[in-house]
């Protein structure tokens, strides 16, 4: 009985550490996305080549980290959720003129994940949040993809064994 109690306590402590680590990772990703959005907004007002190279590399590394995660079949949902959260923050905070060049690659990566039938419902809700933000801020970028996105949404909504609560976004 003592061994089971110790094992339970160890498991509880491990779960608590994992949860805290995820919260730290989430805060880091949000801060990284926000920082990159601010950097993109600075580009609109700066003309310095050195600043563009140094700061642009940071933004490109962020996008280069997040987008491949969305298409990586080996990445777990938690990691994809973090990437989507960072991308959403990046698009939300960023000045339209500064982040518009990244909107289409983000939309295409989201669409690929959207088309994947292995995508979980919890990931789908975050995905729809990013796509909705793109549709509101970058209408010209979104318009050509609108029919495909609607088709995918209808496909998800018409899944026969999906609960009614999961059909609403």
Return the domain boundaries, the chain.
Answer: 2-167
What does the pLDDT look like over 58-115, one tens digit per residue? 899 999 999 999 988 788 888 999 999 999 999 999 888 888 989 999 999 999 998 8
DSSP classification of residue 75: S
Within 10 A of 104 (CB to CB), how many other CB atoms are there?
Answer: 16
Q: What is the mean pLDDT of residues 16-38?
A: 85
Residue 50 has pLDDT above 50, yes or no: no
Q: What is the enclosing helix (H) or strand (E) of 140?
A: helix 139-142
Tell me which residue of 60, 72, 81, 61 sits closest to 124, measured CA to CA: 81
103-153 tens-digit pLDDT: 999 999 999 998 888 888 889 889 999 999 999 999 999 999 999 999 988
Contacts of 157 (CB under 8 A, 6+ apart): 167
> Which of helix, strand or coil describes residue 158?
coil
Q: How far apart are CA 158 and CA 161, in angstroms?
A: 9
Q: How far apart are CA 68 and CA 146, in angstroms?
A: 23
φ, ψ at 100 (rounded to 5°): -65, -30
Instruction: Give the predicted TM-score (pTM) of the model.
Output: 0.81
């Amino acid at each position: 009985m003592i061994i089971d109690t110790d094992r339970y306590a160890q498991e509880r402590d491990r779960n608590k550490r994992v949860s805290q680590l995820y919260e730290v990772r989430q805060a880091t990703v949000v801060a990284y996305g926000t920082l990159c959005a601010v950097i993109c907004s600075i580009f609109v007002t700066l003309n310095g080549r050195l600043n563009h190279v140094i700061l642009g590399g940071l933004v490109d590394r962020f996008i280069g980290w997040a987008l491949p995660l969305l298409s990586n079949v080996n990445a777990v949902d938690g990691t994809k959720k973090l990437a989507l959260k960072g991308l959403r923050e990046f698009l939300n905070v960023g000045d339209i003129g500064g982040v518009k060049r990244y909107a289409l690659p983000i939309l295409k990566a989201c669409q690929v994940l959207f088309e994947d039938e292995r995508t979980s419902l919890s990931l789908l809700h975050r995905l729809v949040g990013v796509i909705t933000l793109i549709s509101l801020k970058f209408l010209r970028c979104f318009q050509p993809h609108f029919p495909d996105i609607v088709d995918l949404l209808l496909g998800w909504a018409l899944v026969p064994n999906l609960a009614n609560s999961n059909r609403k976004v």
